[in-house]
Amino acid sequence: MKCIRLVIADDHPVVRAGLQGMLVSQPDFEIVGEAMTGVEAVALTIALQPDVVLMDLRMAEMDGVAAIVQIRQQKPAIPILVLTTYDSDADILRAMEAGATGYLLKDAPCKQLYSAIRDVAQGKSVLAPAVMSRLLRHMHAPAEEALSAREIEVLTLVARGASNKEIARGLHISEATVKSHLIHIFSKLGVADRTAAVMVALEGGLLKLEQGRRYML
């Protein structure tokens, strides 16, 4: 049985210890490195060239998505399995577009995790069921139906860094109406904050960057 060499990247020591305790119970898994930041994850992956990297998304110095991008640039053949608690559309889209081989949530059963690691080690793409449903929903939702014209106006101003007060003044509406629009926008895009809403809208073609203008991203 070929041993699958693993690097675990997660900023929580308890999580890393828990993962290590589970994974070493499998005869075909070997933990060759642990990283607590995105920078460490990139360095360890390049140095050790593991068979699979287990990547968290939220880490210090460099987040998981940025780490995935750098690993892809330098070691494109190494599979990366995102293992995180975050399942928003923005997080999923950013990770997959950066080049993640799979996306699994931390509450996945042990057997599902073991299977996912073995699959990505063989080059297969693995997505948690909840993640797959979110991606499919995003792919099949018509862009013109996702947001109303007014909601796109509001989100365009958000992308430019405008506050709720500035948006209200610019569109001649109340701040309460702006907040209502934002709630609807977040709900439709499946996100929890302004930055994520802008990112998803840009990725989905709902917003277009204007050359020469500064944006909040």
* pLDDT tens digits, one per residue of 44-87: 999 999 999 999 998 988 999 999 999 999 999 999 999 998 77
Q: Which CATH code is given to the segment(s) 143-203?
A: 1.10.10.10
CATH 1.10.10.10 residue ranges of the chain are 143-203
State how far the Cα of 108 lies from the Cα of 106, in Å rounded to an integer: 5
Model confidence, pTM: 0.65
pLDDT at 164 over 80: yes
Quote the CA–CA distance of 181 and 14 in Å, as a whole number.
40
**Interhelix angle 13-23/110-121, nearest 10 degrees:** 80
Neighbouring CB atoms inside 10 A of 216's CB total: 11
Q: Which pLDDT band, with edges at 50, 70 and 90, does 1 fall under? A: low
CATH architecture of structural domain 4-138: 3-Layer(aba) Sandwich (3.40)
**The pLDDT of residue 215 is above 60:** no
Question: DSSP characters for 189-215?
Answer: HT-SSHHHHHHHHHHTTSS-PPTT---
Confidence at residue 195, expressed as pLDDT on a 0 to 100 scale? 85
Residue 51 confidence (pLDDT) = 97
- 52-55 and 126-127 beta bridge pairing: unpaired
Residues of the chain with CATH 3.40.50.2300: 4-138
